Amino acid sequence: MPLRFLFYVADIYSALTKEAHLDGTPKLELEAVMLNINPGHNKELLSTCKSLHDYSEYPARVRRYSKEMEIEDAWEDGIEETSTLIAKLAENGDLVQLEELGKTPDGLKALLKKYNISR
């Protein structure tokens, strides 16, 4: 994955809403930059933002552990070892959502997809 991606959402949005406006111009113009926060990428950014660094550490650990153990165990070991991340998720109210997603096979698949973790 490259260090940056530029997505031009207006092109997609325009195609989806072509009939919704009279003059044919997009009602929304949005440019988003996606940064790769996987280990070894964007080190300067991660060094200036502890929350983002901690967030990136969890999926990296789960990916690494899943090579040696079942994904469910990797998930739990990753949680145990990233206490700072868990504290941040709890502060933001995201921890309960992540735990709920991880309880079912479909939820776990969605969670793995969300954090780009492959088995």
pTM of the model: 0.41
Helix axes 105-114, 94-102, angle to 10 degrees: 130
pLDDT the model gives residue 119 = 43
Render pLDDT for 45-64 as a digit per residue (tens, 0 to 9). 888 887 788 778 778 888 88
Q: Helix or strand or coil: residue 100?
A: helix
Task: Count each helix (H run) and each strand (E run) in the chain, helices first.
Answer: 7, 2
Between 96 and 49, name the one with better pLDDT. Answer: 49
pLDDT the model gives residue 17 = 62
Stretch 27-38: mean pLDDT: 79
